[in-house]
Structure 1
Amino acid sequence: MTSPTADPTSRFWASVRLVARREFTERIRDRGFLIQVGVMLAVLLAAVAIPAAIGSGSDKYDVAFGGPQQARVGQVAAAQAQLLDTDVTVKTYPDDAAALKAVEDGDLDAYVAGGRIVVHRDLDQNLAAVLQSAYATVERDNRLTAAGIDAAAVDQALQVQPLAKQTLDPDADERDKRKGIAFLGVLMLYGMLMLFSVWVANGVVEEKSSRIVEILLAAVPARALLTGKVIGIGLLGLLQMALTAAVGLAAASGLGTIELTGSMVYPAALVVAWFVLGYAIYACMFAAAAARVSRMEDLQNVITPMTSLLIASFFVAIFAGQSGGTFAQILAYVPPFSAMLQPVMTASGDLAVWQNLLAAGISVVALVGLMIAAARVYEGAVLRTGGKVPVKDAWGKGS
């Protein structure tokens, strides 16, 4: 508690801290919030782990060969598999029956003998290419030898160095990975901006409809109540956002999905930073709109313009931000579109750090003006019950 003789600024911020602490502690203890965090982390881990599990081990095969040339075919197959980044392990069995039983039991991926490839169900395309090429090579050498032609000389003549690959854009692969991180980040950013902004709006209406706000305003100023509510819920959202980003990056790095470098971490850090700015902007708008109504049934009507703007920002980031262009370049500096466009376009290489800072500066200036306007509407409407308070009336009664 602050002394009655403290200056107004100190009393204001002491009230803000009190309200923010109340909002944060109440909501972080809520079972629904904890379940939501657990579900989000589970979905994120699944999104990282499933592609890694599908991609790992799919190019490793166990194969057996039969017939008089089995050793030669197996040797050639193992060598040619390396050219296709495929791992072929050659196994031996005493007879055809044992090999066929191994295929049926799933111990072998394929058995090559008698001019055929025996599999249990399906034959992978990479493995088929390796086995067909190895068989053709050995069969060709046998026919050349039968014709009196030196097969070794022919093989040497056919050993041509593969064409070297030159990439004009050496950062393409890494940029695609950054774009993937930014895309997932924007999906998460959209959901959390919507969730926590609606939480602010619901809290305003709940306090107003239950008349608790009248008791609260007897202890703290209206602007301190609004500011504390926005900060308290925002800190909770920031904690969840940072936790999700850290867990996602750590899981992706641990499973080998990405190599964790500074260029990979930066888009994720941008998502967290822009959550702070984006949330502050949207939360002010949602709170001011919610203060105009006294019933939950009327809330959706007044927050529809803000939810529509948030949805529009999301689609612009997904469709225009991924491809860049003049339209996206302009909106990347326009709040609140910048909150979602900046991470996506930075990951794509369309924006530099100084452009991130410029957009953040513009958003901060817009936020200050918006906070003043939202506080005035909130003050003018939060104590008025009954029907929906017109914006003009709320603005006129604000101080």
Structure 2
Amino acid sequence: MRLRSKAFLISTGILMLAVLASVVIGGLVGGMGSLPKVSVVEGSPVAASVQAVEGLDVRLAPSTDAAEALVRDGTVDAAVLGADGASGTGGSAPSGYTVIALDSAPTAVVQALSVAPTVQLLEPSDQNPLIVYFVALAFGLVFFMSAITFGSTIAQSVVEEKQTRVVEILLSTIPVRALLAGKVLGNSLLAFGQIAAIAVLAGIGLLATGQSTLLASLGPSIIWFVVFFAFGFVLLASLYAATAALVSRQEDIGSVTAPVTMLVMIPYFLVIFFNDNPLVLGIMSYVPFSAPVGMPMRLFLGTAQWWEPLLALVVLVIVTAGVIVLGSRIYSNSLLRTGARVKLRDALRG
């Protein structure tokens, strides 16, 4: 029923569109990094020195007039001549060049030709900051939307069965733990399938937009995200089912599941605001509720050792097993109690 519902299909479509949009925008951002184009007179002393400058796309012209013509028709951003090789709009650089531009100073060309001090980075990063932000937004948004959507479905189902007394009929034929396992595993399979479909769509989008290099660096992160999400969602689903069993009215679901919702929202905001902070991401990688977002980001940035995802996954699995046992106890002791909200202390004692 959930797989055929319009709400599920619409939410999945929105998530896929968001991921696809981030892939396309990332491709456009990457394409904006083309080198500035300049023209030089072929065979001139300036031509050899300009061609040796990194960060410029040099076009050869047979004469000074031809070099300026390339500027006027927009083929190049500027023409680079000798200090006394031309007149007109432009400026003489300290290095002995004259930069000829059309209607505004070509800042990128001037910076490339200027003598700059040597810059040494202690922790260099090959990733475009804007692409890093979009990757963090994609991981955070997919985790947030999927966990909230399917977690809320589990909570509403639990309360609906209590409110209509259907749960009493169900428990006369199956054990309470089997009922809980069916809810958690069923919704987990749907969530896992949704995440896997989004991961495949992201890979196809990266290939279709010519971002194979980005796919090569992002691919391992996507795979680990799917793996971590599979276990992380089981943890969250158990908490949603356990907390929802404490109440008997649909109106009380929001208040009783608010702490679990906060556990879902915190990683989303942390990865958006601290996507380049190694300390915050390192802590997120080993906290079970945020590991599905924090560890893939560290793998994408290249700041995680090869053994760290394995260790973080072991921690997540152990904590998930403990939460399942705890949630099962709360669920079993609260499911048949109707009326006022069941206190957590009473649910744990039984």
Q: Which interval holds the TM-score relative to the shorter structure?
A: 0.7 to 0.9
Q: List aligned pairs for 1:116-131, cutoff 5 A.
A: 127-128=76-77, 130-131=78-79
In the TM superposition, what is the alpha-carbon distance from 1:296 to its structure 2 partner? 1.2
Counterparts in 2 of 1:88 and 1:209: CA distance versus 1, 3 Å? farther
Correspondent of 2:309 among 349, 353, 356: 356
Q: Which of 212, 218, 230 is the equivalent residue of 2:184? A: 230
Q: Does 1:27 align with 2:2?
A: yes
Structure 1 residues 199-218: aligned runs within 5 Å: 199-218=153-172
More helix by share: 1
Change (3 A) 1:396 1:84: closer
Instruction: Give 1:338 shift.
Output: 2.5
Greater Cα radius of gyration, structure 1 or 2: 1
Q: Is the 8 A contact 1:249 1:260 kept in 2?
A: no
Task: Please report how far the alpha carbon of residue 314 of structure 1 lies from its aligned counterpart in structure 2 after TM superposition.
Answer: 2.6
- What secondary structure is seen at the aligned counterpart in 1 of 2:86? helix
Per-residue deviation, residues 351-385 of structure 1 (Å, max 9, x unmatched): 22312111111121111111111111111111211
1:68-127 Cα distance to aligned partner (Å, 9 max, x none): xxx99xxx9xx98x976559899xxxxxxxxxxxxxxxxxxxxx77xxx879xxx8xx95
Structure 2 CA distance for partners of 1:45 and 1:87, relative to 1, 3 Å: farther
Per the alignment, residue 282 of structure 2 pairs with 329
Aligned position for 1:370: 323
1:232-311 pair list within 5 angstroms: 232-259=186-213, 262-311=216-265
- CA deviations 1:294-331 (Å, max 9, x no partner) are 11111001011111222223333344453112x65345
Counterpart Cα distance in 1 of 2:207 and 2:193: 21
AA aligned opposite 1:387: A
1:15-74 deviations in Å (ceiling 9; x for gaps): xxxxxxxxxxx211112211222222222222222453576599699xxxxxxxxx99xx
- 2:120 matches 1:194: no
Give aligned-pair identity as a percent. Answer: 29
The whole-number CA distance in structure 1 between the counterparts of 2:221 and 2:84 is: 49
| Alignment match, 1:396 | 349
After TM superposition, the structure 1 = structure 2 runs for residues 81-96 of structure 1, keeping only pairs within 5 Å, are: none
The 1:337–1:38 alpha-carbon spacing in structure 2 relative to 1, beyond 3 Å, is closer
- Give the Cα–Cα distance (whole angstroms) in 2 for the partners of residues 42 and 275 of structure 1: 20
Task: Tell me how far apart the structure 2 counterparts of residues 232 and 134 of structure 1 sit (CA, whole Å).
Answer: 70
Letter in 2 for 1:386: G
Equivalent position of 2:64 in the other structure: none
Q: Tell me by how many angstroms 1:285 deviates.
A: 0.9
Which amino acid letter does the alignment assign opposite residue 280 of structure 1?
V
TM-score (norm 1): 0.65
Describe the shift of the 1:58–1:301 C-alpha distance in structure 2 as closer, same or farther (beyond 3 A). Answer: closer
- State the 4+ residue runs in structure 1 displaced beyond 4 angstroms: 53-61, 82-90, 134-138, 165-171, 174-180
SS of the residue 1:284 aligns to: helix
Equivalent pairs counted in the alignment come to 311
Alignment partners' CA distance in 2, 1:213 and 1:87: 75
Farther off after superposition, 256-265 or 201-210: 256-265
Q: Is the contact between residue 26 and residue 134 of structure 2 (CA under 8 Å) also seen in structure 1?
A: no
Rounded to whole Å, the distance in 2 between the matches of 1:35 and 1:353 is 37
TM-score normalised according to structure 2 size: 0.73
Q: Which residue of 1 aligns with 2:27?
A: 52
What does residue 126 of structure 2 align with? 173
User: Which of residues 347, 353, 360 is equivalent to 2:300?
Assistant: 347
Q: What one-letter code is carried by the residue in structure 2 that aligns with 1:172?
A: S
**What is the letter of the counterpart of residue 32 of structure 1?**
A
Secondary structure of the structure 1 residue equivalent to 2:289? coil
Distance 1:381 1:276 in 2: 27
